[in-house]
């Protein structure tokens, strides 16, 4: 009877270990997926903070440009767009607009996930290659 108990206990322990291994694998998979989602969320939030900073800079530049335009108009300055400070502000606005567009694309790609992010970057590369070819024509 002692051997019967040992045999039954051995089978039971093997089943418990097997079930425990499957549970551990499922737990590891769930933790990895949650970690990936958390990292993606962190990336999205950081890009949103960067986007807010760029928007504040853009608004400040836009306000300064409007102020300069108003002063130039009141003074009767007809060469407003030829002035160096105006050209500098317009260049800054252009750069900030490009940064904003890039951040918005990064946020969309980070939200999409790794599979869709790879597909979107491939499409962007194809689009830039097509645009480059059109420039040469």
Coil, strand, or helix at residue 76?
coil
pLDDT digit string (tens) for 6-54?
555 556 656 666 767 777 788 888 888 888 888 889 889 999 999 999 9
The pLDDT confidence band at residue 63, using thresholds 50, 70 and 90, is: very high
Give buried/exposed letters for 24-55 (b at 16+ CB in 10 A, else e). Answer: eeeeeeeeeeeeeeeebeeebeebeebbeebe
**pLDDT, position 126:** 59
Distance CA 125, CA 69 (A): 39
Q: Is-contact 29 92, C-beta < 8 A?
A: no
The pLDDT confidence band at residue 111, using thresholds 50, 70 and 90, is: confident
**pLDDT, position 64:** 92
Distance CA 42, CA 109 (A): 13
Q: Is-contact 48 107, C-beta < 8 A?
A: yes
């Amino acid at each position: 009877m002692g051997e019967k108990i040992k045999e039954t206990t051995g089978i039971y322990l093997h089943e418990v270990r097997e079930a425990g291994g499957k549970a551990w694998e499922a737990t590891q998979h769930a933790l990895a997926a949650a970690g990936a989602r958390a990292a993606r969320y962190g990336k999205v939030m950081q890009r949103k903070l960067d986007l807010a900073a760029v928007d504040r800079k853009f608004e400040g530049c836009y306000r300064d440009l409007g102020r300069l335009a108003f002063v130039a108009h009141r003074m009767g300055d007809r060469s407003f767009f030829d002035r160096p400070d105006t050209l500098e502000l317009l260049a800054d606005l252009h750069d900030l607009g490009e940064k904003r567009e890039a951040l918005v694309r990064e946020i969309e790609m980070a939200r999409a996930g790794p599979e869709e992010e790879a597909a979107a970057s491939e499409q962007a590369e194809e689009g830039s290659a097509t645009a480059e070819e059109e420039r040469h024509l």
